[in-house]
Amino acid sequence: MVTLEHLVPINELKSGVKPIWCPGCGDYGVMHAVLKAISELKIDPAHVVIASGIGCSGRFPAFVKTYGFHGVHGRALPLATGAKIANPDLTVLAVSGDGDGLSIGAGHLPHAARRNVDITYLVLDNEVYGLTKGQPSPTSSWGTKTKASPYGTVERPLNPVAMMLACEATFVARGFSARPQELAEIIKQGILHPGFAFIEIISPCVTFLDTYGLYKQRVVPIPDTHDRTNRMAALALAFDSEKIYLGIFYQDSQSRPHHMALREMREKISGSDSLQSLLERFRR
Amino acid sequence: MSVNDIVIRIAGESGEGIVTIGEVFVRIAAFSGLEVYTFRTFPAEILGGHVIFQARIADRPVLSQGDNINVLVSLNQEGYDTHVDELEVGGAVIYDNAVVKPRDNERHLLYPIPVSQLASNLNFARGSNLVMLGAMVQLMGLPLERAEQVVHRRLGRYPDLLPKNLEALMAGYHYAQEHFPTRPPTYLVPPEQIAEEKLVLTGYQAIALGALAAGCRFFAGYPITPATDLMEFMASELPKAGGTVVQAEDEIAAINMIIGASFAGLPSMTATSGPGLSLMIEALGLASMAEIPIVVVDVQRAGPATGMPTKTAQGDLYLAFYAGADEAPRFVIAPSSVEDCFYQTINAFNMAELYQMPVIILSDQALAPRVETCTFFNLENIRLWKRQLADLKPGQPFERYKITHSGVSPTTIPGMPGGQYTAEGLEHDEQGHPDYSPETHRLMTKKRWNKVNAARHHVFGLDNAVEEWGDQDAAIGILGWGSSLGPVKEAMVRAQEAGYRVAALFPKILFPMPDVRIRRFIRGRRVLIIPELNSLGQFARVIEHRYTRQLVQDSISVISLNKYEGLPFRPVEIFEEIKRVSELLTRRTWPR
């Protein structure tokens, strides 16, 4: 992480491009929390990369004055992984929605977790495809009615937090766009975590599936008594059928990030072969 | 029957180490000062199934796997039965007489070797391959001390077994020496002195070495036959150069990872085959749109879907040229020999970095795994073209996608203060902000294609961008691409001896097309023969489409010579076509 002496105010971290998000969209709150985290951690914005895929969340990098990569659908994690490997000094974030990250891009999740790439992955979960104007997503509740599911969905929703705990991700958390202060704190912890930090962020879609009311009733902070190094206890919280817990479910204090493992591997390889000496091996 | 230009085929079960015997044998030959060229075909599975390894060995440069088989080495009955009909009359069969019963001892000379018995005499049942190798070395006329040196080098990583391996080699050698007073009619006479410095390596290794020489420091890939060897070689060598190899979860992840790494400043590469390239196409369009340099190696194999993973083809030309949504400019390069693989990979990185574009290298299943002797690579003459970085001025906004004459916009790399931008897959303005206006899309589409035009004028100044040879004034021109160059060259030597006149041109950089060179080459010809390992004549169709006017005005006929059997061209197939067309041309009915 490359930091500055001074604090860059949140407003100076905005690119000036007007967000395309609908008024009242949860993503505004998420963006504010991300900028607050970067600002308060004094990270040099020129050393930050935010990778995204497709969906309302995909537009995120354009509105922020860091380096960004708006890639194709579902591939924010591999883009972020490549950038982090290329330059481990960078602070790398990836931003997806529930469609981008949990449907088309879900195949990358277990692998980012098992590599433990030092990136912070924000999944902005609104339980609906917003950019394509309201189809059901992998986190939509059973029976969700949309134009693409006029009689209600007949699939169970995924539980992203439980999924990532099962993948042994080294940092698993959940935030809520309507609680930007707490969210900023979670994102800070995610950025500081040396390894893959998965943060599900409930970020309701006011246009196609307004769940603010529902969530405001059900969310509760993770109790102080929870031991965040206990994965099974974290799973129990993730599977709670009544309450939606917010906060850090699990963090592995022994987490060793991918780039460190790569560095150690390289250091163990004896002697660095020059190209000339490598060619000698093929001399007849 | 010839001395010092032999084709030897080794056939047996996959688990019997056919490829090991073959690769060690050709290295002994190369180490003895001879030139080698191998061809192998094997089942994708690690055990079971029929395998062949073929090598052509000569005392002069070898350009193809040859036409006839002079020597057949059979380690099982199937290996004998399947291949004996292809063995020339008077050719030699060297075989394990415990398991192979030759049915014809009049057409061929027989060299039975009791390999398993000799091995078990040494209490080393696993040594039968080495016994066979020893017998082959003796019968083919190669020096025993070279064989010992190569076995030391190649199998030295099993020090416990080395004495036993050498004993087994010796046992086979001495058995052949004692039992067969006459050598097969085809054998090798290594030169007394080894004059030129040469390298012995595969097409994969040449691509990997080219990538290392060009500054590649990140590789992500996913296992796929026949491209996996390239990933394995990179995994072994790239970390020593401070780089990283990641085995990704799939091809889509692999290409997106190299795009991410290249965005962050590292020259990056992936390698795959046709099915994997199909999966990568969306992201290839992203690299084109967001203007990120990447190099993608496609080791072509035969057939759509799973097809024939261990068989060769040149069927991905259309895929490489055109695949993707709407129009995504990219460069395509097709090396034509192991040596060329090294230099064309450097061209690929240079073009990717300078023009901020994806570059596809089209190799194939015949070119990539084969072992060839080639001239020692010249590292001193390598010139690297670097990505152009922006000269950032405080207070001035950085325009990542600034429209320039060449289409190339100076860029920044994360970590450069004040250079922040978003690499954008959406259509965007010069700042990189999403913009769908008709004007922007028109200008930006033009800007991206301008890079192709700029490259067309620039890269064809390179002395290795095309290869042209033969009789300049010939009525027949052969236009081709990729690994069919070797067989074409050999066929042309034979054609010249037979009195047929032919010229040939092989562009190595296929996209952009070297228009000036091709137009000049076509001029004055009556027929173009375009040999390709695909059924549609993909390159021929591109040529017809691109040069229609000249072809029609000058009444030049385009003849596609297509082979789609999973096997490379044999020189005789090209020669027969030259002969056929030459004879047609002498008839009056041929249009003038």
Q: How many CA atoms lie within 13 A of B303 on its CB side?
A: 11
Structure tokens at B429: 């303005």
Using the predicted structure, report yes or no on whether residue B592 has a pLDDT greater than 60. no
Using the predicted structure, report yes or no on whether residue A272 has a pLDDT greater than 80. no
**Interfacial B residues in 153-212 facing A (CB < 8 Å):** 194, 197-201, 205, 209, 212
What burial class does residue A269 get, using C-beta atoms within 10 Å of its C-beta: 0-12 exposed, 13-18 middle, 19+ buried? exposed
Structure tokens at B493: 């030597």
- Give yes or no for a contact between B73 and B112, defined as CB atoms under 8 angstroms apart: no
Rounded Cα distance between A135 and A133, Å, is 7
Per-residue pLDDT tens over the stretch A87-139: 999 999 999 999 999 999 999 999 999 999 999 999 999 999 999 999 999 99
Q: What is the pLDDT of residue B196?
A: 76
User: Is A271 in Cβ contact with B264 (below 8 Å)?
Assistant: no
Residue of B nearest to A71 (CA): B425
User: Is B237 in Cβ contact with A273 (below 8 Å)?
Assistant: yes
The shortest CB-CB distance from B218 to any of A72, A86, A282 is to A86
User: Which residue, among B269, B292, B246, has the nearest Cα to A81 in the 3D structure?
Assistant: B246
Q: Quick one: average pLDDT of B324-346?
A: 97
Residue A8 DSSP SS3: coil
Contacts B261 to A, Cβ<8 Å: 82-83, 85-86
Taking CA atoms, B243 is separated from A86, A87, B187, B250, B264, in Å, by: 9, 11, 45, 20, 14
Work out the minimum CA distance from B198 to partner chain A, whole angstroms.
Answer: 6
Q: What is the pLDDT of residue A183?
A: 98
Q: What is the pLDDT of residue B48?
A: 55
Contacts A111 to B, Cβ<8 Å: 248-249, 253
Handedness of CA B60, B64, B65, B69 (dihedral sign): negative
Residue of A nearest to B415 (CA): A47
Using the predicted structure, report yes or no on whether residue B15 has a pLDDT greater than 80. no
User: Is A44 in Cβ contact with B262 (below 8 Å)?
Assistant: no
Q: Which residues contact residue B21 at a Cβ distance below 8 angstroms, ignoring those fewer than 6 apart?
A: B10, B53, B73, B129, B132, B133, B136
Query: Among A16-25, A31-40, A66-75, B453-462, whose mean pLDDT is lowest?
Result: B453-462
What's the mean pLDDT when you consider all of chain B? 93
Confidence of residue B123 (pLDDT cuts 50, 70, 90): very high
Q: What does the angle CA A205 – CA A206 – CA A210 come to, to the nearest 5 degrees?
A: 80
Residue A25 DSSP SS3: coil
φ, ψ of residue B527 in degrees (nearest 5): -140, 140
Query: Among A177-181, B110-114, B169-173, B181-185, whose mean pLDDT is lowest?
Result: B181-185
Confidence of residue B41 (pLDDT cuts 50, 70, 90): low
Using the predicted structure, report yes or no on whether residue B463 has a pLDDT greater than 60. yes
Q: What is the pLDDT of residue B16?
A: 64
Work out the minimum CA distance from A86 to partner chain B, whole angstroms.
Answer: 5
Rounded Cα distance between A234 and A164, Å, is 11
Work out the minimum CA distance from A251 to partner chain B, whole angstroms.
Answer: 24
Report which of residues B40 and B219 the model is more confident about.
B219
Q: How many CA atoms lie within 13 A of B237 on its CB side?
A: 26
Structure tokens at B492: 């042309």
User: Which residue, among A158, A165, A80, A71, has the nearest Cα to A122 in the 3D structure?
Assistant: A80
Q: Residue A93: enclosing H or E segment and its boundaries?
A: strand A91-97
What's the mean pLDDT when you consider all of chain A? 96
Using the predicted structure, report yes or no on whether residue B431 has a pLDDT greater than 50. yes
Render B47-114 in DSSP notation, one character per residue: SSSEEEEEEEEESS---S--SSEEEEEESSHHHHHHHGGGEEEEEEEEEETTT---S-SSSSEEEEE-
What burial class does residue A159 get, using C-beta atoms within 10 Å of its C-beta: 0-12 exposed, 13-18 middle, 19+ buried? middle
Q: Quick one: average pLDDT of A246-259?
A: 97
Q: What is the pLDDT of residue B1?
A: 43
Structure tokens at B504: 């040939």
Rounded Cα distance between A179 and A173, Å, is 14
Per-residue pLDDT tens over the stretch A12-53: 999 999 999 999 999 999 999 999 999 999 999 999 999 999
Contacts A66 to B, Cβ<8 Å: 420
B376–A contact, CB cutoff 8 A: yes
The shortest CB-CB distance from A82 to any of B197, B256, B421 is to B256
The shortest CB-CB distance from B212 to any of A45, A90, A275 is to A275
Using the predicted structure, report yes or no on whether residue A79 has a pLDDT greater than 80. yes
- Give yes or no for a contact between B297 and B271, defined as CB atoms under 8 angstroms apart: yes
Q: Which residues contact residue B420 at a Cβ distance below 8 angstroms, ignoring those fewer than 6 apart?
A: A45, A46, A65, A66, A67, A68, B398, B412
Q: What is the pLDDT of residue B493?
A: 95
Contacts B286 to A, Cβ<8 Å: 71-72
Rounded Cα distance between A110 and B379, Å, is 42
Mutate to test the interface with B, among A14, A50, A67, A109 (most CBs of B within 10 A): A67
Count residue pairs from A and B with Cβ separation < 8 A. 182
Q: Which residues contact residue A267 at a Cβ distance below 8 angstroms, ignoring those fewer than 6 apart?
A: none
Q: Quick one: average pLDDT of B359-368?
A: 96
Taking 3-state DSSP, the helix, strand and coil percentages for chain A, each rounded to the nearest 5, stand at 40, 20, 40
Torsion of CA B438, B439, B443, B449, to 10 degrees: 20
| β pairing state of B50-58 and B35-41 | antiparallel
User: Is A108 in Cβ contact with B249 (below 8 Å)?
Assistant: yes
Structure tokens at A178: 């309507």
Using the predicted structure, report yes or no on whether residue B159 has a pLDDT greater than 90. no
Q: Beta-strand (E) ranges in B248-334?
A: 268-272, 294-300, 331-333
User: Is A80 in Cβ contact with B422 (below 8 Å)?
Assistant: no
Work out the minimum CA distance from A4 to partner chain B, whole angstroms.
Answer: 12
Rounded Cα distance between B362 and B203, Å, is 12
Torsion of CA B334, B43, B92, B103, to 10 degrees: -140
H helix runs in B141-202, sequence order: 144-155, 162-179
Confidence of residue B589 (pLDDT cuts 50, 70, 90): low
B61–A contact, CB cutoff 8 A: no
Place of tokens 């006029």: A150
Place of tokens 């490997």: A85
Q: What is the pLDDT of residue B591?
A: 62
Q: How many CA atoms lie within 13 A of A42 on its CB side?
A: 5
Q: Residue B280: enclosing H or E segment and its boundaries?
A: helix B274-290
Confidence of residue B458 (pLDDT cuts 50, 70, 90): confident
Place of tokens 């990641």: B246
Q: What is the pLDDT of residue B14?
A: 66
φ, ψ of residue A128 in degrees (nearest 5): -160, 155
Taking CA atoms, B412 is separated from A215, B24, B421, B425, in Å, by: 42, 48, 8, 17
Per-residue pLDDT tens over the stretch B89-98: 999 999 999 9
Using the predicted structure, report yes or no on whether residue B77 has a pLDDT greater than 50. yes
Mutate to test the interface with A, among B212, B258, B263, B294 (most CBs of A within 10 A): B263
Contacts B30 to A, Cβ<8 Å: 284
